[in-house]
Amino acid sequence: MTITVRLFARPREICGCDSLQLQLPAAASVRQCFAALVAEHPAMAPMQDRLMAAVNEHYADWHRALADGDTVAFIPPVSGGCGSLPSDG
């Protein structure tokens, strides 16, 4: 099946593109999708622990099974994730 991967911010810079397509076995998980991305862009591997996943524009679990045509985004920490720091506006 064909999965579209959307990349933003630092992952976009690491991969050098904002979108790419991956061919995955049927019902592959988000985690397997990330592994396939790392196979093409090994520099993404160290980012895995800090990424959230989204499927079709909704946050999703890494175990989620994908369907043909799904769009997966790997989302790095957002800028306001530091709400507890005193200097955060």
Residue window 27-56: x/- pattern of binding to another protein, with contact defined by CB under 8 A: -----------------------x---x--
Q: Which is nearer to another protein, 26 or 78 (CB)?
A: 78
From the list 26, 56, 22, the residue with the least C-alpha distance to 40 is 22
Give the Å distances, CA to CA, from 50 to 24, 46, 70.
23, 9, 22
Find the binder of another protein among 2, 13, 63, 68 (CB under 8 A): 13
Measured over the CA atoms of residue 2, residue 20, residue 4 and residue 42, the dihedral's sign is positive
Q: Based on the shown chain and the rule CB under 8 A, indicate whether residue 9 belongs to the binding site for another protein.
A: yes
Helices (H), the chain: 9-15, 30-40
Residues interacting with another protein, by CB under 8 A? 6, 8-10, 12-14, 50, 54, 57-58, 73, 75-83, 85, 87-89
